[in-house]
Amino acid sequence: LETLGPSPEPNLTVLWSKRLPQGFKDYAAQISIKTSAIQYENDEVMRPVYGDDYGITCCVSAMKLGKMMQFFGARANLAKSLLLAINGGRDEISGDQLAPAMPVPADGVLDYATVRANYSRVLSWLAGLYVDTMNVIHYSHDLHAYEAGQMALHDSKIERLMAFGVAGLSVAVDSLSAIKYAKVTPVRGENGVTTGFQVEGDFPKFGNNDPRVDELAHELTHEFITELRKHDTYRQAAPTLSVLTITSNVMYGQKTGSTPDGRKLGDPLAPGANPMHGRDKHGALAAMKSLAHISYDDCRDGISYTMSIVPTALGKTPEQRVRNLTAMLDGYSGYEAHHINVNVMDRAVLEDAMEHPEKYPQLTIRVSGYAVHFIKLDRAHQEEVIRRTFYEAV
């Protein structure tokens, strides 16, 4: 990166441990501040699972090198799934019956217990459909396009993983929090499905180190992987789960109606496991602690968090910024959190790059599990990146 300049490839990952040499940690932090092109993953939570000879083989997922392979595909939209639970299994946009029919919550303020029970029914149905779909995809892929060349480089007897994923976790969690701690009344159209929600009162939001809502994130991910594990998988692959969206959070948001947390129809979901845009009000460390509530044991395919912080928040001098960033990464590792992308830049730089791309041919940012030249994103994705929280305080 120092020789060639900032670049999204190769997708560089530092396996972080407090026990790394201080000089290496400082150098990695310095390059992050300079290029925003590195992601960090917690060696302390992965090494007990995979041993010493492992690598990051997808965006953020670890595997034993030469001894494991992964079947992967798609993500389950947890935010839209919650709307199915509120609408009796019907799609909130088309009105079609998607999930099995279930009782629609009574008119008026939503009852948390009723919604939560419906939500569990939707997640159970969705997990079965997801596994069946993945089984068909990967059976067909092996039948018609078996990757013999790649598999020849593996041991003859390997461990197979089936990597599932979720999107919209923070939207679902904040929505459940709103129903539980505030008063949420659905607004329904002529066909009976929700077109919006009226929210009275405040509610805890994911990303502020508040256990009332952070534990809901742990609860949801644990419930969904538990449901996935109930089903037989192709070639007895072990189910894993990721909280990772790449850039699909924009597309998923376009297909998701207004949600009880206040997000509007078509608005992007938060990327990966990030708090929803602008809701993490208590600084970077509070958000990091919230992320750590999501258990790596439930999400072995990775828990992707993208942090954007302005340079001055890390310190006044280059030395202070390096020292503070390494301390933050040490702390994040100590919380037993899994993954973090680090972007160190001012929002104004991205806004200028959006209007004058010719000035920023090498401007690289971390998105959700990978890096990209900012000017190569389409306008919708650029706007979503700019809407994210840029921390001005640690």
Structure tokens, 1:
């990166």
The active-site residue, picked from 38, 45, 56, 59, is 59
- In 3D, which of 333, 326, 336 has the Cα closest to residue 24? 326
91: region left, alpha or beta (phi > 0 left; psi from -120 to 50 alpha): beta
Residue 124: CB partners within 8 Å, gap ≥ 6?
A: 227
How far is CA 57 from each of CA 47, 122, 305, rounded to the nearest angstrom?
15, 31, 18
Residue-wise burial string across 271-291, b where 16 or more C-beta atoms lie within 10 A, e elsewhere: bbbbbbbebbeebbbbbbbbb
- In 3D, which of 86, 81, 163, 178 has the Cα closest to residue 125? 81
**Residue pointed to by tokens 């407090």:** 18
- In 3D, which of 166, 129, 163 has the Cα closest to residue 239? 163
At 392, the amino acid letter reads E
| Gap between the Cα atoms of 211 and 215, Å rounded | 5
CA-angle at 27, arms to 26 and 30, nearest 5°: 85
The answer to whether 281 touches 208, Cβ cutoff 8 Å, is yes
- In 3D, which of 107, 231, 126, 238 has the Cα closest to residue 172? 126
| Gap between the Cα atoms of 312 and 31, Å rounded | 16
Q: What is the DSSP letter of 358?
A: G
**Residue pointed to by tokens 């960033």:** 325
Is residue 58 annotated as a catalytic residue, yes or no? yes
Is residue 59 annotated as a catalytic residue, yes or no? yes
Structure tokens, 379:
């306008």
The three-state (H, E, C) secondary structure of 53-78, written as one string: CEEECCCCCEEECCCEEEEECCCEEH
- So which residues are the catalytic ones? 58-59
